[in-house]
Amino acid sequence: MTNILFAASECVPFIKTGGLGDVVGSLPKYFPKDSLEVRVILPLYDFIEDKYRKDMKKAGDFDVDFRGGKAAASVFELLYKGVTYYFIAADGRFGGEAPYEGMPQDIDRFVFFDKALLAALKEVGFRPDIIHCHDWQTGAVPAFVRELKKTDKFYKDMKTIMTIHNLRFQGAWGKDYVKEVTSLPDEYFGDEQFGYYDSGNLLKGGLVYADSITTVSETYAREIMMPFYGEGLDGLLAYRADAVTGIINGIDYNFFDPENDKFIYHNFSAENFRREKVKNKTALQKELGMNSDRKVMMIGIISRLTDQKGMDLITYMMDELCSDSVQIVVLGTGEEKYESMFRHYEWKYNKDVSVNIKYSEELSHKIYAAADAFLMPSLFEPCGLSQMMAMRYGAVPIVRETGGLKDTVQAYNEYEHTGNGFSFANYNAHEMLGTIRYAERVFYDNKRDWNKIVKEAMTRDYSWTSSALKYVKLYESLTA
């Protein structure tokens, strides 16, 4: 039996601000129980709901060597849906209403968590063969393990994996500050280690000292070795190319299931979508006060409203797009300029554009189920989950060819009648609009091929099952 510990700052259902929480919460359920024991360790934030806290049991109290002194901490244990979770508690360290407070407080918070989780392992009696670290918040763990191996046999053969969910976020602050908080020797802060110009960079250190590096799609693994996508770390990642693996994320097929989804108006499947899916469109049109038209093409956008997600391209082309025979439904929050832009077009085309500036799990499912197409023109996208969710519900993705979007969406080929979506290569607003209009032509003029695209999208397997097997092979290669 191989023991694996996931270390992260987020995990559904306890804490989520983005895709990181989805991955850490979903992936452990899909590993083979006969060969892997996968557990998860998280901070015990003050805002975690009582419905989870009431079943937690204290597994131990201990001291953490931190900033030259001893800091008290506790570890709690919870068995939830077949997975064992550990939570690190320390008075005043994980307070607030969100997991992230901003810099440099987050450096202090998560370096403490990294030290504490390693000390907590002895309290809970679980010795992992591999600690699987997720994003910069656990970037100090590989270096701490390296140091502990010098003096403590408990950590002797322990391996570490560093997974990059989004390279843009690196956990960097002044070098002297990071050196003080980590208490690592000076040798760790050269330009080839944690040092990054005048900063100490936690993600960089994790990438240097981890035994293996993964990221969340094969294309993104290649992209981040180039300057445009590399966020200043492309040289390091290219140097460590042999240790980098891209493994596409998955989605929870039990939760995102149009046949049994309790959020949507009418359940449907890949076998009956031609007749049943459209009922979701007319129901959503009624709920949102839009023109009722079962034949119009509905385009869904569920996203953070930011530059990264291609909102600037949509801004350039919104007037032209709204002049087409389409309806647009938007759900999300983000930069004020994009929120205001979408509200303007809702006012201008109020019966054909619906803008919902909020986050709603229920409404997101309704949009996936109702939409004919799903627009996701990202500048970069490490993996992307929304396009997979959209395909599961028969909303045909229209995406830019980057990261996980390129790996999951096969562009429609009108000559071979293949594909599960539409895509464009260059980050260009006119190219995006041309691709949307190409999709419109297929939707209106070639319904047979459109339905083939929908069925292909709905029947592709983007569950965690296949991705979990790739992680198993990686774990086996590290412990062989």
Global pTM?
Answer: 0.90
Domain 2-250+465-479 shares a fold with domain 273-461: yes
> Taking residues 8-36, what's their average pLDDT?
92
Q: Are 382 and 216 in contact (CB under 8 A)?
A: yes
Q: Is the pLDDT of residue 480 over 90?
A: no
Q: Where are the alpha helices (DSSP H) in 153-226?
A: 175-182, 202-209, 218-223
State how far the Cα of 440 lies from the Cα of 438, in Å rounded to an integer: 5
State how far the Cα of 368 lies from the Cα of 392, in Å rounded to an integer: 8
3 state DSSP class of 135: coil
Q: Provide the residue count of the chain.
A: 480
State how far the Cα of 349 lies from the Cα of 291, in Å rounded to an integer: 10
Domains of the chain, residue spans? 2-250+465-479, 273-461
Which amino acid is located at 148 in the chain?
A: L
Tokens of 150: 């010098």
Q: Is the pLDDT of residue 18 over 90?
A: no
Side-chain-side CA neighbours of residue 296 (13 Å): 22
Buried b or exposed e, range 395-425, using 16+ CB within 10 angstroms: bbbbbbbbbbbbbbbbbbeeeeeebbbbbbe
What is the band of 252 on the pLDDT scale with cuts at 50, 70, 90?
confident
Q: Which CATH class name applies to 2-250+465-479?
A: alpha beta
How is 286-309 classified by DSSP, letter by letter? HHHT----TTSEEEEEES-BSGGG
Q: What pLDDT digit, counting tens, does each position of 186-210 carry? A: 999 999 999 999 999 999 999 999 9
State how far the Cα of 443 lies from the Cα of 14, in Å rounded to an integer: 41
Identify any residues that bridge with 331 across adjacent strands, giving them in sequence order. 302, 356
> Taking residues 1-26, what's their average pLDDT?
93
Q: Are 24 and 12 in contact (CB under 8 A)?
A: yes
State how far the Cα of 187 lies from the Cα of 13, in Å rounded to an integer: 39
pLDDT for 210: 98
- CA torsion sign for 86, 100, 131, 202 is negative
> Taking residues 212-232, what's their average pLDDT?
96
pLDDT for 133: 98
Q: What pLDDT digit, counting tens, does each position of 377-435 carry? A: 999 999 999 999 999 999 999 999 999 999 999 999 999 999 999 999 999 999 999 99
Q: Which CATH code for domain 273-461?
A: 3.40.50.2000
> Taking residues 24-38, what's their average pLDDT?
93
pLDDT for 62: 97
What is the band of 466 on the pLDDT scale with cuts at 50, 70, 90?
confident
